[in-house]
Amino acid sequence: MRLLLDLHPDDYPLEGYRRRQLLDWVFGQGVGSFAAMSTLPADLRAELERDYLLNPFREIETVRSTDGSVKYLFTLQDGRQMEAVYMPYLDRKTICVSTMVGCPAKCAFCATGAMGFGRNLTPGEVVGQILAVAGGEGLAPRELRNLVFMGMGEPLLNYEHTMNAARILLHPLALGMSKRRITLSTVGLAKGIRRLAAEDDLGLKLAISLHAPDEETRQRIIPTGAANGIGDIMEAAREYQAVTGRRLTFEYSMLRGVNDHPWQAALLADLLSGLVSHVNLIPMNPWDGSGFESSTEAEIQTFYDVLEARGVDVSVRRSRGKDAGAACGQLALKRPNAARGEARFGAV
C-alpha cells in the first residue's frame, strides 16, 4: 500500500475541487484518518482507505524539555525509529526534521553518527514528521513556518527524497512554506552542494557543517573529510552563493583542545574571505561515550573575538533541549522520561 504523503500534491488522487479538499484535510487541517474527511463522499473515502496509507508511523513518543522544546521519537511502519525536534520561540515555531534513520557520515562528536546508518526516509516520512508534530502540539500544520533539515541523517546523501519533500513543503496547496524559511544542513558534500545549486525552483538556505578549517583536524573528526577536502567544499559554497544569491551559514561545533585554537579561528576567517556568510559557534552538546568535551566559555569567547576582529559575522548558538537529548548532535533515540504517545498522524 502506497504512502499518500510520498506523492507530490499535483499527483494526488481525485481531481479538481475534490483533490483540493483532500489536500486541505491533509495539510490544512492535519487529520489523522481518511474517515475524518467528512466533506468527501463515503465511497471516495473508502477508496482512499483501500489504496493509500495516511500515517507513516506506528508509534510516537515525546520527550519534553524544560526550555519548551520537544523531542519526537517515531517508530516507522517497518519498525525502524528516528526523531524530530519541535522548538517554539516567541516569534516563530521551528521544526528540525530527519532525512534518514541514523547517519552514515559518522562525525566523531555526534551521537547520531555513532548509531550507524539504517535507511533513507521517503518524502512522506519526512513530511509526516511535520504533520505529526503539529498534531501533537495542537497546531494546524501550516503554523509551523520554519524548518531545518538538521535532524538525523545527511540530506545530500538522500538527495532525491529530500528534494521531493522540499517541493511538497513549498507547494501552495500543501504546506505553502517559504523557501527563505527552509534550511538544509550538510556535512559538506561538494558534489551535492553543486547539484543543489542547480535546483532553480528551490533556492533553500544552506548550512555547511565545517567544524574545522584545516584538513588534519577535519579528517580526524569528520570521516567524509577525506573525500571532500575543505578547498573543494569552499569552492562549491562559492558557486552556490553565486547561483542562488543566498547568504551561507557555517556550523562550527566547539570541541575543547581540538578545533578551538585562535590560529584555527584566523584560518577560518581566511576561508570565508569574500563570502556573504555567518558562522554559528555551537558549544558541543554532551553524550555518553563521545570522547569529546565542549570548549570553555573563555575559549569560545576568544575564538569569537578573533573571528569578529577579522570581520566575520559570528554568533554563539545555544542549543535547546539538552535535558531531553534533543540538542544538536544528541539525537540517538534516547528516552529520558519519554511519554509514549498514540500512533496518530495529526489532529482528528
Binding site residue list for [4Fe-4S] cluster: 103, 107, 110
Q: Which residues are annotated as a binding site?
A: 103, 107, 110, 153-154, 185, 209-211, 285
Residue pointed to by grid coordinates 551561507: 248
C-alpha cell at 158: 538522500
How far apart CA 98 and CA 319 sit, in angstroms, is 17
44-65 exposure pattern, b = at least 16 Cβ within 10 A, e = fewer: bbeebeeebbbbbbeebbbbbb
Can 83 be counted among the known catalytic residues? yes
Contact (Cβ atoms closer than 8 angstroms) between residue 179 and residue 169? no
Backbone angles phi, psi at 167, to 5 degrees: -65, -35
C-alpha cell at 334: 534516547
According to DSSP, the residues that pair with 76 across neighbouring strands are 57
C-alpha cell at 302: 576568544
Q: Are strands 70-76 and 57-64 parallel, antiparallel or unpaired?
A: antiparallel
| 348 Cβ neighbours under 8 A, 6+ residues apart | 31, 32, 33, 36
Can 96 be counted among the known catalytic residues? no
The residue from 83, 96, 125, 251 that is catalytic is 83
Q: Which residues are annotated as a binding site for S-adenosyl-L-methionine?
A: 153-154, 185, 209-211, 285
The residue from 96, 215, 328, 342 that is catalytic is 328
User: In terms of Cα–Cα distance, which of 213, 259, 280, 305 is closest to 108?
Assistant: 259
User: In terms of Cα–Cα distance, which of 13, 15, 10 is closest to 2?
Assistant: 13
Contact (Cβ atoms closer than 8 angstroms) between residue 348 and residue 26? no
Enzyme catalytic residues: 83, 328
